Amino acid sequence: MPRRSYDQYCAVARALDAVGERWSLLIVRELLDGPRRYTDLHADLPGVSTDILATRLKQLEGEGVVERRKLERPANAVVYQLTERGLTLRLVVDALGVWGLDALGEPQPTDAVREHWVTGAPAGATESATKG
């Protein structure tokens, strides 16, 4: 799949070229707490297809944001983790969480909820968002 670009000499456009595709920053959000197996990522990203998840992980790997690592025995599993460059996105994800908090409202019946998704929430918001 060819890389899409805004073709603008602008730092914001270049950043979006790297992480602006749908699901990319949510994958980063999941990896901010440490390495994760593909199946765990898929389980905590309800709504993402396996094809899209695999594609986004490859794209993020190509951008130097994510790296794939094989665990030694006895696990013999592959995990994905953020690179040093990827870890610097914590500020971006946290800022988006704070910015989006005003629009959060009450969980809808169709909303998937994970406690660790409530980013930048004031004290008590995590508890109320995970009830239901």
- Classify domain 1-88 by CATH architecture: Orthogonal Bundle (1.10)
- In a structure prediction context, what are the per-residue pLDDT tens digits for the chain, which is 132 residues long? 567 899 999 999 999 999 999 999 999 999 999 999 999 999 999 999 999 999 999 999 999 999 999 988 887 899 999 999 999 999 999 999 889 989 988 988 999 988 777 644 444 444 444 444
pLDDT single digits (tens) 47-66 = 999 999 999 999 999 999 99
Tally of helices (H runs) and strands (E runs) in the chain: 7, 3
Q: What is the pLDDT of residue 128?
A: 40
Contact 81, 65 (CB under 8 A): no
Contact 112, 47 (CB under 8 A): yes
pLDDT single digits (tens) 28-51 = 999 999 999 999 999 999 999 999
Q: What is the pLDDT of residue 131?
A: 43
Q: Report residue 107 as tokens.
A: 């969980």
Q: What is the pLDDT of residue 63?
A: 97
Q: Report the distance separating Cα 60 and Cα 28, nearest Å.
A: 9
Q: What is the pLDDT of residue 43?
A: 95
User: What is the residue extent of each domain of the chain?
Assistant: 1-88, 90-132
From the list 44, 50, 14, the residue with the least C-alpha distance to 27 is 44
From the list 13, 8, 17, 117, the residue with the least C-alpha distance to 60 is 17
